[in-house]
Amino acid sequence: MPDGTMEHMPAIPESIRSSVILRLLDHAGKNWPQLGKVQARYHGAVACITGVLPGDSSSARARFAS
């Protein structure tokens, strides 16, 4: 970019969002049974994933960009 601005990042399609959360839930159930829940939030082309332990306010987070 000549002026140093970033291009608009397209949003992640709904079909991909659904697939990602289903795969994460399956993976978490098999590999992280201690997690109480897995949450996903999407911001443009970035997915923010949060794993929450039951009865605990702390969480582990990861960000993925497409």
Q: Establish if 30 belongs to a structural domain.
A: yes
Check the CA dihedral 30-31-32-37 and report its sign.
negative
Which residue type occupies 65?
A
Q: Establish if 7 belongs to a structural domain.
A: no
Q: Establish if 39 belongs to a structural domain.
A: yes
Report the alpha-carbon angle 28-41-62, nearest 5.
Answer: 55
Q: Establish if 43 belongs to a structural domain.
A: yes
Q: What pTM does this model have?
A: 0.66
Q: Residue 58 above 70 pLDDT?
A: no
- At 20 the pLDDT is 86
How many domains does the chain divide into?
A: 1
Q: Establish if 40 belongs to a structural domain.
A: yes
Residue-wise pLDDT tens digits, 10-19 = 888 899 889 9
Closest residue by Cα to residue 63 from 15, 29, 12: 12
Residue-wise pLDDT tens digits, 19-39 = 988 998 899 899 988 888 888
Written as six digits, the tokens of 19 are 């697939």
Round to the nearest angstrom and report the end-to-end CA distance of the chain.
Answer: 19
Domain region containing 25 = 14-65
